[in-house]
């Protein structure tokens, strides 16, 4: 399967690259069953903007081109099954930049003479009569010409005024744009394949390509079946992993009570059916159903679900890859220099998913061998990864928070639960889905009831403080750190003796607070103003909650704001140097609340929004109570300092709890 995937560049100076429209003896054919070219201004502009704007130090993967290969008169023809709109648009872009491109040699539309004639004379359409021109292709070329030649970029402006399209920059960007060309296996039912792809309106994503690539490294048919079965189950991020297998597989992997740390029986795994593996792999990739039939909540397909993951599957793959690299002590192979001396980038980026795997496979070294050196090591890497994926998913479901939707609560709430097998041994799959029980995850052997509920709640609140502080999936490194901590000690997890889990989570939060703020406090820098990191406020709120046990929930409060406003209306200003930007005068709010507060005085805010403040940050609640007693002037003169001193002391004591790993 891996031999059927080629990485193409769109434009290249190098003779060693496979270039989209410049390979000798290759032609792309758009079959008659494909629709005509239909992209309009919005789609074309978006594609050009994406290419123009991606970080120039990186490669940009533009998607996949699904083809069926045939040979006619010594020429390799690729019948395009999926990706023809993007392919034709790239042809039109390149025809604007490189006038020597020839459609007759590279891109044709079967039995569509108008389309072929238009492509053939795309830079000299005046030689054709109006009735010979395919209007959609001609209009698409006009859009591209307006952007590339005339800088009419949809009203886009720069900091200096009118935006001017930099053609040289765009060409340099194109040289880093890559596309995967994926050949379907022989004997694939192309009509059925196209029907599925067209109906779902989807194209193979990077994670589909990685799946096919890793499966291609496996030698044994039963291992390929095992890999595909587990991968597809793990890809369904809604709900719990056990429920993504049939009852036989569920007990085989998670034992009769469904709660055992999974270990894949590589030597005894039996394939579900005796079918051609290559054809099965393509069928599974296309037809996998990414929904889980459990009640409550709503997933991305607007179907009711109970549990929703805080990350998507591509990001989960990146976390798992980092866990595998750590667990197997995969090093950079001797003599190789790579960026930042790291096999996997610190920044999590689902758009670089394929690049991340390629980087590890190409440069990785473990068990005394280079991963890419032989079929044996590639086979071993794939087996190690799929086992790591299943174990990480089990740990993720049990020990990383989810969003849970119960009853009529459309907002959901934070949840840290484990799946428990329902009573009875003869439940059907449908019955099991209805009756599966979810209980608070246990963190101490033999602990039940109130004690475990409190321990569970504390761990949940710590994770929630991290989740709302790092809102982008690209910066959720705390998930990787927790998975690594859980992964390295099977005995501790098997026996549900994770009494140190709180310390593991808290260490992550404390390190972030120390790096972002405490180091500055040591040097008496308390006036960072709105640049104060969100984690400082959220960890402080955790400490205040833990101490008081008040009713409080972590929400996405992402706006650091002044309690005494920067621009007061009708009362004295307070300059930054005198304390306006100090930590004592700051709080973290929901953005819509900040707009409602406007430039009101602290006393007016406290008096007007009593009910709202009662549901907000604990620090904000304390500030409101102080102002209620002392008033605005006293707050500005003295009270903010005593409040600041108290809050910083709580932070310091919290950070002193950090334990060495």
Collapsed DSSP state (helix, strand, coil) of residue 15 = coil
Collapsed DSSP state (helix, strand, coil) of residue 307 = strand
Contacts of 348 (CB under 8 A, 6+ apart): 315, 318, 319, 473, 474, 475, 476, 477
Give tens-digit pLDDT for 148-205: 888 776 556 554 455 678 888 999 999 999 998 988 877 666 555 555 555 544 455 7
Give tens-digit pLDDT for 429-462: 555 545 678 999 999 887 777 788 999 999 999 9
**Dihedral in degrees, nearest 10, Cα atoms 88, 93, 98, 103:** 20
CB contact at 8 A, 316 and 444: no
Residues of the chain above pLDDT 70, percent? 83
Q: How far is CA 251 from CA 261, 292, 398, 399, in A?
A: 12, 19, 17, 21
Contacts of 122 (CB under 8 A, 6+ apart): 92, 95, 103, 137, 141
Contacts of 398 (CB under 8 A, 6+ apart): 418, 441
Of 177, 185, 205, 201, residue with least CA distance to 90 = 177
d(CA 81, CA 371): 33
DSSP states along 523-540: TT----GGGS-HHHHHHH
d(CA 413, CA 521): 34
d(CA 502, CA 458): 7
d(CA 364, CA 347): 19
CA atoms within 13 A on the CB side of 273: 9
3-state helix, strand, coil in the chain (%, to 5): 50, 10, 35
Q: What is the 3-state secondary structure (H, E, C) of 219-241?
A: CCHHHHHHHHHHHHHHHCCCCCH
d(CA 51, CA 45): 10
Contacts of 330 (CB under 8 A, 6+ apart): 324, 343, 360, 364, 365, 366, 371
Diameter of the chain measured on Cα atoms: 91
Of 156, 180, 140, residue with least CA distance to 49 = 156
Q: How far is CA 586 from CA 215, 280, 558, in A?
A: 53, 58, 13
Contacts of 73 (CB under 8 A, 6+ apart): none
CB contact at 8 A, 247 and 432: yes
d(CA 322, CA 487): 12
Task: Using CB atoms within 10 Å of the CB of residue 426, give its burial: 0 to 12 exposed, 13 to 18 middle, 19+ buried.
Answer: exposed
d(CA 69, CA 130): 34
CB contact at 8 A, 43 and 90: no
Contacts of 543 (CB under 8 A, 6+ apart): 650, 651, 653, 654
Give the model's pLDDT for residue 516.
65
Q: How far is CA 481 from CA 327, 421, 659, in A?
A: 12, 29, 15
Q: What is the 3-state secondary structure (H, E, C) of 40-88?
A: CHHHHHHHHHHHHHCCCCCCEEEEEEEEEEEEECCEEEEEEEECHHHHH
Of 458, 460, 450, 619, residue with least CA distance to 534 = 619
Of 75, 94, 87, residue with least CA distance to 31 = 87
Q: How many CB atoms lie within 10 A of CB 46?
A: 12
Strand partners, 7: 180
Structure tokens at 389: 């994926």
d(CA 306, CA 513): 33
Give the model's pLDDT for residue 409.
67
Q: How many CB atoms lie within 10 A of CB 431?
A: 12
Q: Which residues of 397-409 are buried (b: 16+ CB within 10 A; e: fewer)?
A: bbbbbbbbbeeee
Identify the DSSP state of 598: T
CB contact at 8 A, 385 and 361: no
Q: How many CB atoms lie within 10 A of CB 164?
A: 10
Which pTM value belongs to this model?
Answer: 0.69
385 φ, ψ to 5°?
Answer: -65, -45
List the strands of the sheet with 26-30, edge to edge: 5-9, 177-183, 60-72, 75-82, 26-30, 107-109
CA atoms within 13 A on the CB side of 26: 14
141 φ, ψ to 5°?
Answer: -65, -35
Task: Using CB atoms within 10 Å of the CB of residue 508, give its burial: 0 to 12 exposed, 13 to 18 middle, 19+ buried.
Answer: buried
For the chain, list residues with pLDDT below 70: 1-3, 14-16, 32-33, 99-105, 153-163, 187-204, 271-304, 408-409, 424-435, 516, 518-526, 594-595, 660-661
Q: How far is CA 62 from CA 94, 314, 355, 536, in A?
A: 15, 16, 12, 38
């Amino acid at each position: 399967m891996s031999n059927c995937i080629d990485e193409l560049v769109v434009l290249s100076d190098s003779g060693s690259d496979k270039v989209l429209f410049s390979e000798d003896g290759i032609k792309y054919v758009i079959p008659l069953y494909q629709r005509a070219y239909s992209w309009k201004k919005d789609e074309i502009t978006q594609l050009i903007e994406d290419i123009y704007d991606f970080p120039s130090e990186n490669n940009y993967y533009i998607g996949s081109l699904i083809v069926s290969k045939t040979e006619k008169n010594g020429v390799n023809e690729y019948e395009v099954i999926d990706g023809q709109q993007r392919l034709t648009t790239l042809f039109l872009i390149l025809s604007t930049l490189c006038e020597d491109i020839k459609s007759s040699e590279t891109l044709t539309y079967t039995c569509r003479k108008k389309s072929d004639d238009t492509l053939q004379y795309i830079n000299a359409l005046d030689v054709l009569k109006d009735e010979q021109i395919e209007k959609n292709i001609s209009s698409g070329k006009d859009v591209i010409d307006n952007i590339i030649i005339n800088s009419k970029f949809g009203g886009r402006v720069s900091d200096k005024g009118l935006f001017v399209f930099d053609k040289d920059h765009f060409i340099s960007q194109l040289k880093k744009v890559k596309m995967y060309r994926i050949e379907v296996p022989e004997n694939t039912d192309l009509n059925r394949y196209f029907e599925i792809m067209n109906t779902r309106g989807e194209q193979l994503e990077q994670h589909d390509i990685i799946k096919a690539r890793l499966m291609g490294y496996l030698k044994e048919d039963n291992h390929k079946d095992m890999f595909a079965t587990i991968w597809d189950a793990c890809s369904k991020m809604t709900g719990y992993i056990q429920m993504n297998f049939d009852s036989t597989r569920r007990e085989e992997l998670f034992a009769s009570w469904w709660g055992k740390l999974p270990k894949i029986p590589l030597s005894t795994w039996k394939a579900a059916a005796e079918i051609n593996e290559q054809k099965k792999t393509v069928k599974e990739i296309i037809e996998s159903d990414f929904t889980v039939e459990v009640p409550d909540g709503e997933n991305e397909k607007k179907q009711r679900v109970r549990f929703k993951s805080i990350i998507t599957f591509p990001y989960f793959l990146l976390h798992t890859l980092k866990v595998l690299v750590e667990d197997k002590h995969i090093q950079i192979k001797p003599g190789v220099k790579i960026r930042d001396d790291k096999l996997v980038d610190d920044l999590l980026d689902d758009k670089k998913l394929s690049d991340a795997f390629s980087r590890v496979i190409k440069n990785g070294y473990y068990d005394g061998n280079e991963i890419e050196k032989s079929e044996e090591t590639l086979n071993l890497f794939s087996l190690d990864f799929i086992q790591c994926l299943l174990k990480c998913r089990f740990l993720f479901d049990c020990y990383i928070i989810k969003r849970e939707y119960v009853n009529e609560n459309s907002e959901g709430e934070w949840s840290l639960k484990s799946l428990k097998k329902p009573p009875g041994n003869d439940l059907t799959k449908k019955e099991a889905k209805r009756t599966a029980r979810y209980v608070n995850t246990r963190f101490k052997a033999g602990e039940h009831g109130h004690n475990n509920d409190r321990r569970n709640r504390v761990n949940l609140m710590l994770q929630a403080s991290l989740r709302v502080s790092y809102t982008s999936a690209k910066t959720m490194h705390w998930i990787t750190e927790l998975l690594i901590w859980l992964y390295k000690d099977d005995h501790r997890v098997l026996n549900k003796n994770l009494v140190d889990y709180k310390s593991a989570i808290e260490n992550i939060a404390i390190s972030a607070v120390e790096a972002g703020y405490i180091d500055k406090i040591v040097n008496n820098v308390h006036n960072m103003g709105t640049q104060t990191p969100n984690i400082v406020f959220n960890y402080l709120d955790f400490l205040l909650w833990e101490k008081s046990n008040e009713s409080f929930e972590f929400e996405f409060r992402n706006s650091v704001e002044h309690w005494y406003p920067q621009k007061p209306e009708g009362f004295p200003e307070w300059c930054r140097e005198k304390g306006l930007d100090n930590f004592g005068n700051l709080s973290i709010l929901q953005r819509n609340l900040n707009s409602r507060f406007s430039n009101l005085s602290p006393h007016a805010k406290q008096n007007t929004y009593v009910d709202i403040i009662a549901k907000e940050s604990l620090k904000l609640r304390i500030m409101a109570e102080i102002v209620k007693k002392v008033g605005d002037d006293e707050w500005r003169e003295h009270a903010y300092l005593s409040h600041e001193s108290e809050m910083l002391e709580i932070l310091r004591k919290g950070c002193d709890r950090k334990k060495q790993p």
